[in-house]
Amino acid sequence: MNLKESFRIALRALNANKVRSLLTMLGVIIGVAAVILLVAIGTGVQDEVTGSIEGLGSNLIFAFPGNVEQGGGGGGGPGGSIQKQFSLDDAEMLQRRLGPDDKVVPVIQAAAIAKVGNREWRTTMAAGNEYSGEVFSADYASGRGYYRSEVSASSRVVIIGASVQKELFPNKDPLGEYMDVNGQRFRVIGTLVEQGGSLTGDQDNQIYLPITTAQRLLGTRDISIIIVKAADATQIDLIQQRIKRALKPRFGEEFSVFTQQETLGILSQLLGTLTVMLAGIAGISLLVGGIGIMNIMLVSVSERTREIGIRKAVGAKTYDIMSQFVIEAIVLSVAGGVIGITIGWLGSEALKVVVPTQVTPWAVALAFLFSAGVGVFFGVYPAYRASRLDPIEALRYE
Amino acid sequence: MSENSETTPIGARGCESRRVVLEARDVSKCYVLDEIEVHALRGLDLEVCDGEMLAIIGPSGSGKSTLMHIIGLLDRPSSGIVTVEGEEVSSMLPNQLAAVRNKRIGFVFQSFNLLARTTALANVELPLVYSGVSGAERSRRAKEALERVGLGDRLNHLPNQLSGGQQQRVAIARALVTEPSIVLADEPTGNLDTRSGMEVMSILQDLNTEHGITVVLVTHDDMVSRHAQRIVALRDGKVVREEIVEKRVIAHERRAKFDAGGEE
């Protein structure tokens, strides 16, 4: 008997038990769809996060207060871990030490309430100096960034993101108009091009002010972090060392300096681990689906013992019976795999509204191979049992 | 089961000038059931001659079904030798036995043993599937076999849409389709009403008389056994009696009489 016949027999048997076949496949369908969906989410998030960091511009070095490697709380003073914050002086000192080619930007981020007329809007303020636009590769829709003079004078000028513009200036050009930020009056000098949503928050729902203005507005002398853009990408490690050396006298070990590459590396490692973990969890459901197939095939073998006996009585050989049952199991799992891939794919496309997803070929291939493998692996044992039945024993079975 | 007085003594068997198609020599079969040894056959000898119709009778427990399964190659003897058309099969591997069952032996069971949810045609095609006959040729031969048993108009009926007699005729068609040299029928009328039983017997008898196919049937019905040319009686796993039937029952005549309302 050839394979074509085995296929026909297997398909006929599956067709005769439609509901049971579908329920059996369901385990594999869910498993495969889950693997593809979860890996798609993991990969999508990873791409998004690394993309948004890369989008900041290359050659960046970040300095944070506090020692990240020692877990932040390592200070050990009597009052616990009171971190010493950076100030504008530290940023200026770094700029002096590094020279004019490498741009140093002190950064503050804080919540803010913006208001135009009686329209009020919650947003985030990000403050920097005159280099901000260059360092963060700002894309102006209209207007300009702030000048050095405006930074030194703590001018009340603001650049607004696309969402803020939409909310507060729905029908007019905001350029030159005034808006309130935390109760102070600001003049809009620039607007930014819409960047689209992202995991790290709505990048369009931000307003940008000069750092000195932000300090005055918040009543602080501290800044959150210092970002340095190296003029020469090949010098980045050297510059990182120089920043560390410059900050050491004032901060000891209580600060951290990362290059963008390091940040990216840490993040993608973290997110990669997350993706693998998600795939692992989904893989377990695939395994459970496989055991479901084995269970059904075993039931099917004992339920069809008589059928096996009849087939053997009229001349079926061991491998005829074996191939019939193995093919049944493979058809179940491969069909389940294909349906699962379709569902996973469509699902991840649909999920794009909520979460960034990216269907990866390796996840599809892996899920498909795994489901086919599950079919073979869990189908062989019941098929072997079926093929070894003694014809007369099988015929007597009731 | 009535003992018949017209018996001839053991030893009168032998096929004389005819070829022996099936032979069992000193065959024993012993089961272990719940740690108790059951001797179903004890050194039994049997020869089936080419073209004959042989009935095996005996009380239940006499080993007639076991013998049938052994000569049908569905079961193996514990000891002894079975030959089919001169070829010894006792030492064959399972797959070789499957090939012999497929090509040379047609088996008709008491309980029909048709595949459920499978059309009459597909059921009859089944042995051909396993002997590698493909597509069109297969359904042509299966159709022909079904026509021979008078079911040419029931090709696509499922077993549960057919009467018992019709199901048994499908089973006979399945046994015939590979053109075997021997048809073995194990209580073929056991599950049928009188009228259907008569139909089945007339088909089996026709196969024998008109097509020269060797038929061996097991029965405990005296009337059924008298359709054969020769009767072998078993008891306790041995042949105890053998008889050449002087006045064979002709199935057609009996059926005609039955249909006319005459009691037999």
pLDDT digits (tens, 9 = 90+) for B143-164: 999 999 999 999 999 999 999 9
**What pLDDT is attached to residue A31?**
86
| CA A34 to centroid of chain Cα atoms | 16
**What pLDDT is attached to residue B174?**
96
**What pLDDT is attached to residue A69?**
61
B114 contact A CB<8A:
yes
Residues forming a β-bridge with B24: B46, B82
What's the mean pLDDT in B182-193? 93
Q: What's the mean per-residue pLDDT of chain A?
A: 84
Q: How far apart are CA A107 and CA A128, in angstroms?
A: 5
Q: CA A344, A346, A347, A353: dihedral to nearest 10 degrees?
A: 140
Cα–Cα distances (Å) from B252 to A171, B145, B198, in that order, read 103, 20, 8
Residues forming a β-bridge with B81: B25
Which of A164-173, A281-290, B13-22, B195-204 is predicted most confidently? Answer: B195-204
Q: What is the pLDDT of residues A249-308, one digit of tens each?
A: 888 888 888 888 888 888 888 888 888 888 888 888 878 887 887 888 788 888 888 899
Joined tokens for residue A164 = 């803020």
Q: What's the mean per-residue pLDDT of chain B?
A: 89
Task: Assess whether pLDDT exceeds 80 at residue B2.
Answer: no
Q: Which residues of B touch A391 (CB under 8 A)?
A: 74-75
Determine which of A191-200, A212-221, B124-133 has the lowest per-residue pLDDT on average.
Answer: A191-200
Query: At residue B99, what are phi and psi to the nearest 5 degrees?
Result: -65, -40
Q: Return residues 318-377 of A near B (CB < 8 Å).
A: 318-320
Task: Assess whether pLDDT exceeds 50 at residue B185.
Answer: yes
Q: What is the pLDDT of residues B77-122, one digit of tens each?
A: 999 999 999 899 988 999 999 999 999 999 999 999 999 888 999 9
Query: pLDDT class for A76, splitting at 50, 70, 90?
Result: very low
**What pLDDT is attached to residue A197?**
56
Q: Which residue has the tokens 């459970």?
A: A288
CB distance B71 to B216 below 8 Å: yes
CB atoms within 10 A of CB B107: 26
Q: How far is A15 from chain B (nearest CA, A)?
A: 11
- Complex ipTM, two decimals? 0.90
Domains in chain B, start-ordered, CATH in brackets? 20-259 (3.40.50.300)
Q: Do residue B103 and residue A315 have CB atoms under 8 angstroms apart?
A: yes
Task: Assess whether pLDDT exceeds 70 at residue B9.
Answer: no
Q: How far is B99 from chain A (nearest CA, A)?
A: 6
Q: How far is B95 from chain A (nearest CA, A)?
A: 5
Which residue among B109, B113, B131 places its CB closest to the CB of A315?
B131
Tell which residue, A105, A20, A85, has the closest CA to residue A298. A20
Joined tokens for residue A341 = 């891939």
**What pLDDT is attached to residue B263?**
55
The residue type of B241 is: R
Q: Which residue has the tokens 């053109």?
A: B179
SS3 state at B114: coil
Q: How far apart are CA A271 and CA B65, in angstroms?
A: 70
